[in-house]
Amino acid sequence: MNGALLGKLVLAAIGVVAVERSFRAYRARRRDPVAPSDHISDWGWRLLGIGGAMFLVSGLSIQLIDGMPKPLQSVLFVTTGAGVAIAFVGASIAAWRAYL
C-alpha cells in the first residue's frame, strides 16, 4: 500500500466522520423545535439532496431510455455532471460546518 493511497483513505475517513457528525446535528435540530437553527448546514444538506436527485434521475434516464436523441443525451450528461458537482458542494458545506 503506497503513501498516496493511504493518504486518500485517511482523508476519506475524516470526511465520512465529518458528514456523519453533521447529519446527527441536522437530525437533532429537525427533531427539537427549540434548538437553534443553522441555516448554512441545512442549505448544505438540501444541496446534497438536490444534487443526488439530479444525478440519479438523469443518470437513470440515460441508461433506461432507448433511442434517445443525441442532443437530449448531451443535456442529460451535463445535468448528471452538474448533479455530482452540486452534491459535492453540499457535502463539503455539511462537513465543514460540522467542525465549527
Question: Mean pLDDT in the chain?
Answer: 86
pLDDT of residue 73 exceeding 70? yes
Q: Are residues 61 and 25 in contact, defined by beta-carbon separation less than 8 angstroms?
A: no
Q: How many domains does the chain have?
A: 1
Cα-flanking dihedrals φ and ψ of residue 68, to 5°?
-70, 140
Q: Above 70 in pLDDT, residue 100?
A: no
Question: Looking up cell 500500500, which residue turns up?
Answer: 1
> pTM for the full model?
0.74
pLDDT more than 70, % of the chain? 97
Report whether 62 contacts 73 (CB < 8 A): yes
What band does 54 get if pLDDT is binned at 50, 70 and 90?
very high
11 has a pLDDT exceeding 80: yes
CA distances from 46 to 7, 23, 42, 88 (A): 29, 12, 6, 12
Q: Which domain holds residue 70?
A: 3-98
Asked if residue 27 has pLDDT above 90, the reply is no
Nearest to residue 57, comparing CAs of 72, 79, 40? 79
